Structure 1
Amino acid sequence: MSAVSSVTAPAAAATGASDSIAWVRVSSCYLPLANPISDAKVLTGRQKPMTEIAMLFAEVETRDGHRGLGFSYSKRAGGPGQFAHAQEIAPALLGEDPSDIAKIWTKLCWAGASVGRSGMGVQAIGAFDVALYDLKARRAGLSLSKFLGSQRDSVRCYNTSGGFLHTPIDQLVVNAQASVARGIGGIKLKVGQPDCAADIARLTAVRQQLGDAVPIMVDANQQWDRPTAQRMCRIFEQFNLVWIEEPLDAYDFEGHAALAAQFDTPIATGEMLTSTTEHFELIRHRAADYLMPDGPRVGGITPFLKIAAQAEHAGLMLGPHFAMELHVHLGAIYPTEPWVEHFDWLEPLFNERLEIRDGRMQVPTRPGLGLSLSDQARAWTRGSAEFGQRP
């Protein structure tokens, strides 16, 4: 079902502005996954297998005809809530100068302040924030990474989608080999099963097949308690891993800090945090060697840049979570070489594809994000709402 609203932009907001936002559309799109996805949260009974991803798209157009596209997302739950909140706050964009991105972020945050400054509320803001940066970079004729100040034209990438726990061990090895053959630089395996021996067997099989030269990461998805995490981190030291991800609950900063201080293998976490404040606390506790902020989850590019600046100051490495279509640009601007997560799940939503070669993801040179919504994305859209009037 599609809803269309006509809201007139406040004249006062546009006074003196060189351009102003005239039209906004938000869309709720559900991306079906080919197979139900299981990680440790499923095997420990805390979640059900994931069958779809709820995408929130924001399209913005100005009085002078400049356009931007942004997105956020939710897994398993929260999609309808994000879409509903986006509809509530979207009228606040109308009449604003699209260049005033920080001002608009603050305005949208206060428009929905009663739901807080983290979680679903800021995730809805994230779609608009990304759209405004996309618009601004497009208007400048630059890719988003060049617009923000790029450090490199490509980033290291690793594949996660082939390493989930629903995948049998023989297929796991095949998937890992295929990713390396495709030109992806590293392989991440899901761990955190109730039977720790099964985790060790899966990792051993992949390491033996790929050899010592291929970078491997593991991800426990918060399912270990402190004694188990300590035991598994000690066992995993022999595998020369790039990192051990989310060995503990995402908010156990002290526990993660203790692991990071004790073991040679780096600790990675941060993907489940949904605000700058939460990330600052994680950094303050020295709870990660690799920080893993998720642009859409923290509220878009505006807060992501604040988090990245704090991480740089603390000397942390960066591994943004999911959404490679955005994070390839944000990873390219980080001073030290990051790892960007490769998921091919979102590819059907866009007409463009990222290029992978020699272990690296090439940063698109097209203006803005370099993305346009596909006909398939429109077909999977379950609801949309428009505000203002297109020029």
Structure 2
Amino acid sequence: MKIVEIREKTLPISSSIRNAYIDFSKMTLSLVAVITDVVRNGKPVVGYGFNSNGRYGQGNLMRERFIPRIMAAKPDSLLDDAGTNLDPHKIWDCMFTNEKPGGHGERSVAIGTIDMAVWDATAKIADKPLFQLLAERYGNGQPNRKVFVYAAGGYYHPGQNLDALKDEMRSYLDRGYSVVKKKIGGASLDEDLRRIDAVLSVLQDGQKLCVDANGRFDMDTAIAYAKALSQYDLFWYEEAGDPLDFELQAMLRNYYDKPMATGENLFSMQDARNLVRYGGMRPDRDWLQFDCALSYGLVEYLRTLDMLHAHGWSPNRCIPHGGHQMSLNIAAGLGLGGNESYPDLFQPFGGFPDGVRVENSYVTLPDLPGIGFEGKADLYREMEALSR
């Protein structure tokens, strides 16, 4: 049993939308295929992975450092103790060989993308859905296949007026979501408040709105928004300031006593630990958004969950960024609080397997081996083209 080849392809996921910090007109991602010599149903087992939106493709790092290390390793050194499957932890250690601690940026995205593909292959070799494999190895053995999801949208579109924004949000509600998200910080406070009022005007009882500043604000602006947002019953106020400005995040609790969320741009267990140590986050109401595809993968995410437990946090306060099926499987297998979803954006990489429907902001994961990419036809066409 061995990995025979690892392929990467950089693909566009460009869009004319923008948030408070960046536009997505030139956005890319890396698609990875980990090809093994294990045969299931007459075909070699192939694991697939890709990185989340907001960070660009990392093909150069993969091809120069991480893929060669895996391919140069003795195949047996990458297997579990029984020799019957890949060992994602050993493969992760192999990738991190000769890497200094710290510097958790683009490197974490490259490793996290390959790690996703390794876990997909591992679960397929075991002939189990990844959520089942995770529940058996690291959970209580019983996955919760019903996962909370919210609809991420409300970007700044060229020429989009308030009526068009309301139509966008209605489209999410019509598809079964009861929690939706919109961007703030890309316009003036007054304009953002008008946009919030417009979205709230289409929400019904039991439906909620999240707002996301994408790290745009300095302290004074973050506080000004916190005071203005306090008049609403929001699901959360997300990433007000720079992701590493823990003092700003901690200060906000003095001005905003309702739920806040952050963490999607923290790329290691150590960064996550600094957030819960120094960022003033409250485990009874706030949300953590670490995204395994951007932060060294599931191997590192497991370390992060152990750290959170030691600091009194439940995994159900984690709702990862990214809108991908990897985090859906982690949520189902390890008891996270849910997952982000992009109903219309960053396709075909966002969304769910074909036939999965949202009901009152929950989806039920189908019984598919691995992460379940093969159940999403438009996505699997891209993946199969890479591995063919």
CA contact (8 A) 1:192 1:223 kept: yes
Give the distance between the partners of 2:110 and 2:247, measured in 1 at CA. Answer: 30
Report the CA distance shift for 1:78/1:69 in structure 2 as closer, same or farther (over 3 A).
Answer: closer
For 2:156, the equivalent position in structure 1 comes to 165
TM-score w.r.t. length of structure 1: 0.81
SS of 1:36's partner is coil
For 1:12, the equivalent position in structure 2 comes to none
1:108 deviates by 0.6
Give the distance between the partners of 1:50 and 1:292, measured in 2 at CA. Answer: 24
1:87 deviates by 4.1
Give the distance between the partners of 2:278 and 2:101, measured in 1 at CA. Answer: 27
Report the CA distance shift for 1:127/1:321 in structure 2 as closer, same or farther (over 3 A).
Answer: same
Give the distance between the partners of 2:187 and 2:233, measured in 1 at CA. Answer: 23
For 2:361, the equivalent position in structure 1 comes to 359
For 2:131, the equivalent position in structure 1 comes to 145
1:129 deviates by 1.7
Q: Structure 2 counterpart of 1:165, which letter?
A: Y
CA contact (8 A) 2:52 2:322 kept: no
For residues 99-140 of structure 1, the C-alpha deviation after alignment (integer angstroms, 9 at most, x for no partner) is 3221221121115x1696522223222222222222222222
For 1:52, the equivalent position in structure 2 comes to 27
SS of 1:357's partner is coil
TM-score w.r.t. length of structure 2: 0.82
For 2:278, the equivalent position in structure 1 comes to 285
For 2:104, the equivalent position in structure 1 comes to 118
Is 1:99 the equivalent of 2:99?
Answer: no
Of 89-98 and 347-356, deviating more is 347-356
Give the distance between the partners of 1:139 and 1:356, measured in 2 at CA. Answer: 29
SS of 2:51's partner is strand
CA contact (8 A) 2:166 2:199 kept: yes
Mapping for residues 295-314 of structure 1, pairs under 5 Å: 295-313=292-310, 314=312
SS of 1:239's partner is coil
1:31 deviates by 3.2
SS of 1:374's partner is helix
Please list every run of 5 or more consecutive structure 2 residues that lacks an aligned counterpart in the other structure.
Answer: 80-84, 136-141
The structure, 1 or 2, with the larger RCO (C-alpha pairs under 8 Å, 6+ apart) is 1
Identity of aligned residues (%): 25
For residues 32-60 of structure 1, the C-alpha deviation after alignment (integer angstroms, 9 at most, x for no partner) is 44x4121111xxxxx44434332231323
Counting matched residue pairs gives 355
CA contact (8 A) 2:331 2:338 kept: yes
Give the distance between the partners of 1:93 and 1:127, measured in 2 at CA. Answer: 19
1:315 deviates by 2.3
For residues 337-371 of structure 1, the C-alpha deviation after alignment (integer angstroms, 9 at most, x for no partner) is 33433354454359943432232122232011011
For 2:16, the equivalent position in structure 1 comes to 36
1:78 deviates by 4.9
Please list every run of 5 or more consecutive structure 1 residues that lacks an aligned counterpart in the other structure.
Answer: 1-19, 42-46, 387-391
CA contact (8 A) 1:109 1:122 kept: no
For residues 200-238 of structure 1, the C-alpha deviation after alignment (integer angstroms, 9 at most, x for no partner) is 000011112213521110000111111111121121122
Q: Which has the larger share of strand?
A: 1
For 2:2, the equivalent position in structure 1 comes to 21
Q: Structure 1 counterpart of 2:127, which letter?
A: G
Give the distance between the partners of 2:185 and 2:25, measured in 1 at CA. Answer: 17
